[in-house]
Amino acid sequence: MTAPLLEAQAVNKRFGGLDALCDVSLTIARGEIYGLIGPNGAGKTTFFNVLSGLYRPDGGAFRIDGGALPQGAPHAVAAAGIARTFQNIRLFGNMSALDNVMVGRHVRMHAGILGAILRLRSERDEEAATRVRAQALLEYVGLGPRAGQLARHLPYGDQRRLEIARALATEPKLLALDEPAAGMNAAETRDLRALLERIRADGVTLLLIEHDVQLVMGLCDRVCVLDYGRKLAEGPPAEVRRDPRVIEAYLGTPATA
């Protein structure tokens, strides 16, 4: 295994009396596709929210690329190289697809208010470069012709792709996807899988929460199973699916389904 990209060290998160995350430790290697699975309410999305800084953990820490990851500061997390999507798509609905992706570039841009007001040379160049780059990202996820459309008017599958393009615009080392295939039909899921593999081939490590068992088994190098906020098992999907604890907790129905 190569040097780890992300390490979670005994991460805890409590909501009142509920242990949403209890001493969750995991390590994601550079370049792998890592799946986070588990029944509803297992703490997967909570893990994402803590990782991306939307929640502050009650204990534990993350390290990315060997350095400490800022806690409770989403913008600093994004700057450190972690981008995410949301389970219930959160696009900027009344902005065009292109503008959505351009917002994703925010953290890699430098222009301030004064530069914008005076339309300084540096600001104009940066805007132009950002526009080109955002358009390229839209092409990358297959949304090139949709650039001018409002995000809220895009079909569901396209909205999911746009969220991925927006996240990629932040130049992440780790792309965290919260149920990217939710609500997609078989053909869309196939396309999504191809896209995710391409993203990995281009050097981005992927962390995904997914319920689509086939997708997880086929795509992920390793998976971690969460149940009631605790790590139940971890390893290659083929191994994990045979783990009796996992079968009991999650794949209660025949795993071949």
Partner 1 sequence: MIEAVERIPAWARWLLLAAGLLALPFATEALLGRAWVRIIDVALLFVLLAIGLNIVVGYAGLLDLGYVAFFAVGAYAYALLASPHFGLHWPFWVLVPLAALVAAFFGILLGAPTLRLRGDYLAIVTLGFGEIIRIFLNNLNRPVNITNGPQGITLIDPLKIGDFSLATTHTVGPFTFSAVHSYYFVFLVCVLLSIVISRRLEDSRIGRAWIAIREDEVAARAMGINTRNVKLAAFAMGATFGGVAGALFAAFQGFISPESFTLLDSIMILCMVVLGGMGNVYGVVLGAILLTALPEALRYVGPLQQALVGRVIVEPSDLRMLLFGLALVLMMLLRPAGLWPSRLRQRELAGEPQ
Residues that bind partner 1 (CB under 8 A): 52-54, 74-75, 78-79, 83-84, 86, 90-96, 99, 102-107, 109, 111-113, 115-117, 119, 123, 126-127, 130, 148-150, 152-153, 166-167, 170
Please state, in angstroms and rounded to a whole number, the distance separating the CA atoms of residues 149 and 101: 12
State the nearest-atom distance from the C-beta of 103 to partner 1, in Å: 5
Q: How big, in percent rounded to 5, are the helix, strand and coil portions of the chain?
A: 40, 25, 35
DSSP string covering 41-57, please? TSSHHHHHHHHTTSS--
Query: Looking at beta carbons only, is 83 or 216 nearer to partner 1?
Result: 83
Query: Looking at beta carbons only, is 29 or 79 nearer to partner 1?
Result: 79
Query: Looking at beta carbons only, is 145 or 183 nearer to partner 1?
Result: 145
State the nearest-atom distance from the C-beta of 69 to partner 1, in Å: 14
Query: Residue 181: helix, strand or coil by DSSP?
Result: coil
Please state, in angstroms and rounded to a whole number, the distance separating the CA atoms of residues 144 and 134: 10
State the nearest-atom distance from the C-beta of 70 to partner 1, in Å: 12
Query: Looking at beta carbons only, is 189 or 205 nearer to partner 1?
Result: 205
The torsion angles phi and psi of 114, rounded to 5 degrees, stand at -65, -45
State the nearest-atom distance from the C-beta of 81 to partner 1, in Å: 10
Look up residue 164 and give its two tokens.
Answer: 């991925």
Look up residue 206 and give its two tokens.
Answer: 């992927």
The β-bridge partners of 83 are 175
State the nearest-atom distance from the C-beta of 52 to partner 1, in Å: 5
Query: Looking at beta carbons only, is 113 or 201 nearer to partner 1?
Result: 113
